[in-house]
Each structure stands twice: as structure tokens, then as C-alpha cells.
């Protein structure tokens, strides 16, 4: 484990830079899960994620000569912003290599702090390889997002913050990508109170570290695919794996549907914008993957909030459809005056609010004289939608 004194040193080093983010009780999630749940809101951290902690601690630990040469990092986004801001605090050069698929909001976030951005590679691991080579060529110090003792110590300060506000917590749920956050936090928790259960949650589409944990040895994935881009790490770190094997009690994963539902839940019930990586712990509780924690005091780390708004809009739309608050149907009408009016009158009588309608009379699947009408409408749940289907079937618009 990381020496607890290094984590205390990191806390002192970063105290004037990081935000003391809220640690708040979550009543809705507590009711659903049966636990007493508290959320550590690192999505409200400066730069929108916990990564500033480790990045600043690392750069602050460099020699004057190293800082003068500058730093380079590879990141899908949050570590990038942490390194960029930290470098700006010391007025040194920072080069950030990001995967080509990185959302524009994260690219702009890095540029905002004055760093140079290079897009290279299809995923983090390919960007990482490019950054190593670039740093060597230009004499820049590489700031690793998780495979570095000073970075891990900085991330471990999240645990100290939690214990300052709740020293009787029974368990903590931590997102896992490369393993830096959970390595630092688990080291702190187990050093101070070994009875605290440390639980890691990863994305099912990025299984390398979870599989390695279960087998007790490092194995890599051939590819990753998940909406939780902040934890979409393909290869396992030997360093963080050893920390995790020594101090993490449980490790599980959640799929993209579960992550999306957690993002929507946090938006609606907690009024928080949390990215996919930051929502995995909540996803595990929402979908009852940790029922052994019932009646216990549980801390959940919301690790970041830098959500791509395009993806967020898709998640919201799909969530409304799944929860019965939106409904899309297509019916075939006789293409003559009054047919569409009669159809929409029925929907009006059923209190369905039409938000979009399209009319197609040219599809090759249609008989001449017919038209397909597709309607998107707001509804009031599954029962309301079933009522609409029943009436439309009775009127001959829908056929089994």
C-alpha cells in the first residue's frame, strides 16, 4: 500500500488548489438501496474531477529542473485537465496527448488552461504510447494518470476528506479505470481503519483490471467499449493491481445500460451532472449488486462530472422512453383529407402530448393511397402507454 504519510503530505501540498467538495446524504438512493448512502461529489471539484489531486501533487513534487523542461501526459480528459491546470499554476509547459475520439468539451477544457493538445490513437493506451515517445523526444517529464506513487497519493486524499466528515463509514464504493484512485483511497482507508470495506466498480466494457483482480495476475483486454470513457482502460497496470489485490475487498462491474440509468437518476434526483465513470458506484447500488451493505453507512465517490452533452441528450431521451414518459409509434393511414386529423384527435382525447410528427407516403412498403405516420409523444407512464395502444388497436390503427 501507499504510505499513509505520503497521502497526508499530499493533502497538505494540494490544500490551496483543490476544492473541499461536498459529502452529502442521498435520501432517494438510501431508500432504494437500503443503505445510508453519502455521496462524495468530486464531480464538483475544480476541473470537474478528482484528477487534479494527483496531477498537482506530482508536479509539485518535481525538481525545479524537471518543471522547467515541462510535462507531458496522456488522458481521455480528466487527468488531462488536472495536469493542464497544475502546470499553469507553476507556469510551465504542458503537452496533453488525447485519443482521437475524445469529446470536444474535454479538449476545450484542456486548452482553456493553456496546454497544447495532440490527438493521437484510437484509445487511451495508444495515446499513452505516443505521449511517452513524444516526452522522451522533447525532454518532458511524463505524468502518468495512475501508475505513479505521487499521483496515487494525491488521489488518496479523497479518503482523508471522507474520514474527516464521516469517520464511522462502513464501506466505500470507488470507480475503477486504471486503478489510481482506488489504490490511493484503499491505502488510506486500510491504514486508518482496516474494517472499512473497499469496493471497486468498473465498466463491463473495460474488464481488464476486474479480470486481473479475480485471477490474481495482470491480463489485458483486446478492446474496450463503454460510455464511461473516463475508465475505458484497455491494459492492466501491474503497479495498481498489486495495490488493489492488497487492499480492495470486492470488485464488480456494471454495464452501459446500468451506467446510463445512474446518470439519469443523479440528474433527476440529486440535481447532479455526473459522467459515466463517476456514476458506476451509484449504478451498482441502484441495480442491487451490493445488497450485503443494507443498513450500513456507505460512501460513494462521484469521481467526475465532465459529461459530453451530446451523449447526455441521448441518455435522457432513451431514459424517457424506457420509463414510459415518452412513446414513439408508427401507424398506416389512408392518405386522404381528415385521416391525420382523426388520428391526432384520438391522441388528444387520451392526453398524449405530441412533440414530433412525420408523414411518409413514398415508402416502397406502402400500398398506393396509404401513408405512414410516425408520432413522438409525451406520456404519463406504462399504464398510460398501454391505454393508448389499446384504444389505437380498437380503432384499427395498430395491428398485432
Answer whether 151's CB lies under 8 Å from 157's CB.
Answer: no
Among 291, 211, 195, 197, which Cα is nearest to 249's? Answer: 197
Residue 390 contacts by C-beta under 8 Å, 6 or more apart in sequence? none
Cβ atoms 203, 280 nearer than 8 A: yes
What is the Cα–Cα distance from 31 to 26, expressed in whole angstroms?
9
Per-residue pLDDT of the chain (400 residues; tens, 9 = 90+): 899 999 999 999 999 999 999 999 999 999 999 999 999 999 999 999 999 999 999 999 999 999 999 999 998 778 999 999 999 999 999 999 998 988 787 788 899 999 999 999 987 778 889 999 999 999 999 999 999 999 999 999 999 999 999 999 999 999 999 999 999 999 999 999 999 999 999 999 999 999 999 999 999 988 889 999 889 888 899 999 999 999 999 999 999 999 999 999 999 999 999 999 999 999 999 999 999 999 999 999 999 998 888 899 999 999 999 889 999 999 999 989 999 999 999 999 999 999 999 999 898 888 898 999 999 999 999 999 999 999 999 998 876 4
Query: Taking the domains of the chain in order of start, what are their residue ranges?
Result: 4-50+148-318, 52-142, 324-394
CA distance 325 to 384: 9
Q: 313 in helix, strand or coil?
A: helix
Q: What is the pTM of this model?
A: 0.89
Residues 6+ apart with CB under 8 A from 333: 339, 340, 343, 370, 371, 372, 373, 397
Fold that domain 52-142 belongs to in CATH: Rossmann fold (3.40.50)
Q: How far apart are CA 235 and CA 123, in angstroms?
A: 11
Q: Cα–Cα–Cα angle for 144, 148, 149, nearest 5°?
A: 155
End-to-end Cα spacing for the chain = 62
- Which distant-in-sequence residues (6+ apart) come within 8 Å of 346 by Cβ? 391, 392, 395, 397
Topology adopted by domain 324-394: Alpha-Beta Plaits (3.30.70)
Question: Mapping DSSP to helix (H, G, I), strand (E, B) and coil, where does residue 369 land?
Answer: coil
CATH of domain 4-50+148-318: 3.40.50.1100
Q: Distance from CA of residue 7 to its chain's centroid?
A: 25
Residue 236 to residue 243: CA distance in whole angstroms: 12
Identical fold at 4-50+148-318 and 52-142? yes
The 8 Å CB, 24+ separation contacts for 131-134 are 131/72, 131/73, 131/74, 131/95, 131/97, 132/74, 134/72, 134/95, 134/97
Name residue, grid cell 459529461.
Answer: 307
The three three-digit cell numbers of residue 92, written as one number: 510551465
Residue 300, C-beta contacts closer than 8 angstroms, at least 6 positions apart: 26, 29, 37, 38, 39, 40, 172, 173, 281, 282, 285
pLDDT per position as a tens digit, 7-43: 999 999 999 999 999 999 999 999 999 999 999 999 9
Amino acid at each position: 500500500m501507499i504510505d499513509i504519510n505520503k497521502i497526508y503530505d499530499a493533502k497538505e501540498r494540494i490544500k490551496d488548489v483543490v476544492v473541499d467538495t461536498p459529502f452529502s446524504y442521498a435520501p432517494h438512493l438510501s431508500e432504494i438501496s437500503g443503505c445510508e448512502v453519502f455521496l462524495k461529489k468530486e464531480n464538483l471539484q475544480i476541473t470537474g474531477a478528482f484528477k487534479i489531486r494527483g496531477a498537482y501533487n506530482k508536479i509539485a513534487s518535481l525538481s525545479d529542473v524537471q518543471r522547467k523542461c515541462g510535462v507531458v501526459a496522456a488522458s481521455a480528459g480528466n487527468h488531462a485537465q488536472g495536469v493542464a491546470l497544475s502546470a499553469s499554476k507553476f507556469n510551465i509547459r504542458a503537452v496533453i496527448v488525447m485519443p482521437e475520439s475524445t469529446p470536444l468539451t474535454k479538449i476545450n477544457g484542456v486548452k482553456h488552461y493553456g496546454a497544447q493538445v495532440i490527438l493521437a490513437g484510437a484509445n487511451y493506451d495508444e495515446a499513452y504510447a505516443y505521449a511517452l515517445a513524444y516526452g522522451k523526444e522533447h525532454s518532458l517529464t511524463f505524468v502518468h494518470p495512475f501508475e505513479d506513487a505521487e499521483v496515487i497519493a494525491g488521489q488518496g486524499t479523497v479518503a482523508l476528506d471522507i474520514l474527516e466528515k464521516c469517520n464511522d463509514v462502513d464501506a466505500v464504493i470507488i470507480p475503477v479505470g486504471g486503478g489510481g484512485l482506488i489504490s490511493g483511497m484503499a491505502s488510506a482507508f486500510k491504514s486508518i481503519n482496516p474494517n472499512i470495506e473497499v469496493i471497486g466498480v468498473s465498466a463491463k466494457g473495460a474488464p481488464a483490471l476486474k479480470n486481473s483482480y479475480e485471477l490474481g495476475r495482470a491480463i489485458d483486454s483486446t478492446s474496450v467499449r463503454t460510455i464511461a470513457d473516463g475508465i475505458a482502460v484497455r491494459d492492466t497496470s501491474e503497479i495498481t493491481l498489486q495495490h488493489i489485490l492488497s487492499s480492495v475487498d470486492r470488485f464488480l462491474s456494471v454495464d452501459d445500460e446500468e451506467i446510463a440509468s445512474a446518470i439519469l437518476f443523479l440528474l433527476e434526483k440529486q440535481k447532479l451532472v455526473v459522467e459515466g465513470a463517476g456514476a458506476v458506484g451509484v449504478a451498482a447500488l441502484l441495480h442491487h449488486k451490493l445488497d450485503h451493505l443494507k443498513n450500513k453507512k456507505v460512501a460513494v465517490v462521484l469521481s467526475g462530472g465532465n459529461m459530453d452533452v451530446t451523449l447526455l441528450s441521448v441518455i435522457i431521451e432513451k431514459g424517457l422512453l424506457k420509463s414510459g414518459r415518452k412513446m414513439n409509434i408508427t401507424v398506416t393511414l389512408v392518405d386522404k383529407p381528415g385521416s391525420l386529423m382523426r388520428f391526432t384527435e384520438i391522441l388528444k382525447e387520451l392526453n398524449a402530448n405530441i412533440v414530433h410528427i412525420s408523414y411518409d407516403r413514398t415508402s416502397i412498403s406502402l400500398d398506393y393511397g396509404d401513408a405512414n405516420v410516425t408520432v413522438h409523444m409525451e406520456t404519463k407512464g406504462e399504464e398510460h402507454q398501454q391505454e393508448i395502444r389499446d384504444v389505437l388497436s380498437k380503432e384499427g390503427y395498430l395491428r398485432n
